[in-house]
Structure 1
Amino acid sequence: MRNTFGNVFTLTSFGESHGEAVGGVIDGMPAGIEIDKEFIQHELERRRPGQSALTTSRKEPDQVELLSGVFEGKSTGAPIGFVVRNTNHHSQDYENLRCLFRPSHADYTYYNKYGLRDHRGGGRSSARITISRCVGGALAKLALRQVGVSIAAYTSQVGDICTDPDYRRYDIAAAETNPVRCPDSEVAAQMEQLIRKVKAVGDTIGGVVTCVIKGCPPGLGEPEFGKLHAALGAAMLSINAVKGFEYGEGFAGVTARGSQQNDVFVNRGGRIATATNHSGGIQGGISNGEDIYFRVAFKPVATVLMEQQTVDMGGEPTRFTARGRHDSCVVPRAVPVVEAMAAMTLLDYYLIAKTVRL
C-alpha cells in the first residue's frame, strides 16, 4: 500500500477512521520556517466534522500534536511527526456492514486486494484520513509564504447550482463566511438550501471545488513525465470522492479556435506576462508565472441513509440501511483538502526546481 506523497517534500500518513489516531511524518520541510501552530490547527478546523448543520454530526476536536522536527518555533529540517487522536468514533454503527459490500465504497476492492477489510467507517479508505493531508498542506503553506505563493479554494458548484466560472469576479476569502464555502452569498444560500433538501431524505449530492494559486514562479514542472498540471491532477484525484480534474479553460475550451485560446505574451511593467490566461498558468507542463487555476469534481457521497440492495461476502443478495453520521455533501469540507494537496504539490515542485538549479 503506497502511503507516501511527494518527491522532495513528502508526507507519509497512517491511521484509520475508527483507530486510535490519524497522523503522519513530513520529510523535506525546509529548515528555519516559522511554525504557526494556530494556523495549522485552523486548517484542521476547516476540515473537521460537526462544524455546521450541513456536515456529519461526528464531534471531533482534531487537535494536532507535533512530535518532532520543530525547535523554538521553527522547523529544523528533520522529519516532522504529528498525530491527531480519534475521540468520538461510534464503531457499533457499522456492525451491520461487517459481512457485506456497500455500493460504490472501497469495501469490495479492498477485500479483493488485501483479503480483509476494516468495516468500521471504511477504515483506511475513510475521508477522515485527509486529516494528515491538511497538516502537511498547512506546513507547505507556511513554507510557500516565504516565496510569495498563496493558495485559496472555494465551492463553485453543488448539484446544478454554480457560481460564475470566472474566479476573478470574487473575493475568494468571502467563501469562509458561510457553511458551504462559496464566495457568492446568493449562490451560497441556494447551495445550502439544496444540501438541506437532499439531507432531509437521507440522500447525498456532489459538486465542484475551484482552486487558485497566486504568485507561483515560472519554471516549475518537467516537460515530459513530470508536468506540473499532471502532478496537480494526480494529487487531486487521490482525494476521496474525486471524479474529475481540469485546469485553465479545461473542457470548455474545446469549442474555441486556437486563435481565441492562445495566450499572447506582453511586457507588463518590465516583466514578461500573458495578456490572457486560458492556459491556467501552465504551458508545456511548466508554470509560466500567471495564476494557476483548476477545478475538482466530487461525486455524491456513497453512503446514503436509505435502504439499498447489495450482496454479502458470500455473494448472496441482501438489503441494508446504513447507519451512523455522514456528510450529505462533502464539498464544503473538501475545500481545505484541495488547498492542502495543491500546497504540497507546489512546494515539492519548488524544491525540485531549486535542487536542479544547484
Structure 2
Amino acid sequence: MDAVAVAHREHWGRIVATLIRVTGDWTLAEDCAQDALATALERWPRDGVPGNPGGWLMTVARNRALDVLRRAAVEDRKLREVAMTEAPPAPDDRLRLIFTCCHPALALEARVALTLRTVAGLSTSDIARAFLVTESTMTRRLTRAKSKIAAARIPYRVPEGDALGERLTGVLAVLYLLFNRGYDGEPVLADEAIRLTRMLGTLMPAESEVSSLLALFLLQHSRRHARRDASGDLVPLDKQDRDCWDRPAIAEAVQILHRTPIEGPYALQARIAACHATARTPSDTDWPSIALWYDELARIQPTPVIALNRAVAHGYAHGPAQGLKLLEQAQEIRNDYPMVIAAEADLTARAGDNQRAATLFREAAAATTDGPERRALLTRAAELQP
C-alpha cells in the first residue's frame, strides 16, 4: 500500500529514535516500529488511512513496546517513560540517532549500514545488496555494531561545543559515502542520502556545510538520467543530453548556495558542481571559476584525487600544457586510480597528440575493473584512432 510506504519513509526514523531513547533497546525499537507498519498494512486498507499517520504508527509502536516491557518485567520507570510517549517525538531524538549511528568508534562501513537500517529504515536485505554481501552477513554486521554501541557505552546524544563540529564532519562523511554508493549504481542509496541530508539541514539550519552538502547532492543527482545511454554505458559530461537534467533540482541547489556562506570543502565542491550544472552547453562552462574553486579546495584538502581534478580544470581553463604540468601532483595514485591515466589521455588529445592519447585511453581501460567505464575509455581511444 502506497500510504504505508510513504509513512515508512517519512516516520521510521522518528519512531525508532524515540523508542531507543525511552527503552534503551535498539532491537526492540526497530521490531516495534516494524510491527506498527505491519499493522498498518493490515488495517489501513480496511479502515482508511488515519489523519496523522505518523502519530498512529507511533502509538501502535509505543503500545507494542509497552507490552514487551511488561512481559519482561522491566522496572516501573521504563514503563512510565514509554507510556508517556504520546506526543510526536522531538527532532533531537533523530539527531541523537544520527550521531550515535555515525560514532567514530564504529568502522565507516558499519556507520553507513547502521544509518541505512536505523535512521532510513531500509531492509537488511536491501542494505546487503548495496554492500554486495549476503543478508546473514549484513545481519551480523548490524548486530555487532549495536553491540559495540552498548558495550562501549556510546552516549545517545548530540555532542556539544567543539565536539559537535568534529562529530558533524564524520556524519557528513557517512552521508557523502552513502550518496557516492548510490551515484555509482544504487539510486535508492543516493535518494536516501539526499533525504537524510535534507532532514539534517532542517534539524541543524545554522550548519552551512550541511546545506552545502545537500546542494552538492542535488546538483550531482540532477544528471542521473543522462549519465548512461540505452546500453548502460557511461556518457561523458560534455556529451550528455542536458535537456534530461533535472532543472528544478538544479534551481533548488543554486538557491541554497546563494544563501549559504563558503565555509568548508562541501561548499567549494557544490560551487564547482553548480558551474557544470548551470552551463547550457559544454562551451558555456565557466572553467576559469572551476579552476579557482579547485585551487582553494586543494589548499584545504590536499589529496591526490583533488589534485587530479584541479589539473583537469586548469587544462580546460588555461590550456592542456598547464593541466599536464599540474597532473604530476596526482601521480602517486596512478597505479590505483585509472582516471589519472584517463585525464592524461584527455589532456594529451587536446594538446594534439591523438596517437599517444589513444594509447593512454587503452591503458586506462585495461586498468579499470568497471565494465561501463572500460567501454567508455575504449570508445574514446577508437574515436582518436578510427
| TM-score, normalised via structure 1 length | 0.26
Select the structure that is richer in helix: 2
Select the structure that is richer in strand: 1
| TM-score, normalised via structure 2 length | 0.25
Query: Which one has the largest radius of gyration?
Result: 2
Higher relative contact order (CA 8 A, sep 6+): 1
